[in-house]
Amino acid sequence: MYFNKRVLVTGGAGFLGSHLCERLLAEGQDVLCVDNLYTGSKHHIAHLLSDHNFEFMRHDITFPMYVEVDEIYNLACPASPVHYQNDPVATTKVNVHGAINMLGLAKRRRAKILQASTSEVYGDPDVHPQPESYVGSVNPIGPRSCYDEGKRCAETLFFDYWRQHRLQIKIARIFNTYGPRMHPNDGRVVSNFIVQALNDQPITIYGDGSQTRSFAYVDDLIEGLVRLMKTDDAVTGPINLGNPGEFTILELAKKIIEITGSTSKIVHHPLPIDDPRKRKPDISLARDILKWQPAVDLDAGLEKTIAYFETLFSEK
């Protein structure tokens, strides 16, 4: 007899987590969504609550969990500077204590576990684009360190559990991702610009706008996570998941103004401390191992994301 896997998604009511829960349910899995709702929202998963294969649990993973699961996607952590700098101690705790608790659960259950790491482990990179072999250039005591170093420590823990306990681990280094269900006030560049443009407010660019980012649409990112989880035990990662298309922040602002038809003007503010100058993934490993690459280009993804925010604002 075939039994569905029971899959735990921490941070499952967040932007990425809610999309992942949807995808796993569509594949017929039993999904346990865990979130403390610090940045996640019940609205993101409200449409899933009637699915008999879906269960929601409000819980903070800095405290241990005792549940029966076969796979774990560990996505729990505030991901925008506005949110992770609001309580930097809690951010470090969810990255470190949260990883320890989830790894302990995976060890007890002999479950496969995937860590949602980040391109921020590369810091302000001296190598461009960034391959997984690059060890990064990170400030350990700056205002972003709670997130950057927290994620780096989580990767360390994952590999120590792999070496010491032969745990089945997967690490995805996620680059800038955007799409429906982004928080309108999360401070991330895509949501910031869209909200400002739709309200005809000045679009705020930090620095001269020449710094670059690479933007992956959420559906592409979720596809990469699922493919990574399905690889055999020999594949641990880390594997970069992101869109190698590189745009300056100024180019992004102009695209959003054009698509929205906004009258917004661009204004410039000082660059934040430790803000990376360049960010672009080398996705050679993802292409080779996962047979994955992004399918949604920036214009198409922005149109879908802008439509989501237009609907969100019209409902208020």
Asked if 134 is an active-site residue, the reply is: no
Answer for the pair 44, 218: CB distance below 8 angstroms, yes or no: no
Element containing residue 161 per DSSP (H, E): helix 145-165
Of 66, 62, 50, nearest in space to 107 by CA: 66
Provide the edge-to-edge strand list for the sheet that holds 239-241: 54-58, 30-35, 6-10, 71-74, 112-118, 169-174, 239-241
Q: Which of 73, 147, 161, 217 is catalytic?
A: 147
Answer for the pair 70, 109: CB distance below 8 angstroms, yes or no: yes
First to last CA, the chain: 48
Answer for the pair 33, 40: CB distance below 8 angstroms, yes or no: no
Answer for the pair 250, 257: CB distance below 8 angstroms, yes or no: no
Active site residues: 147
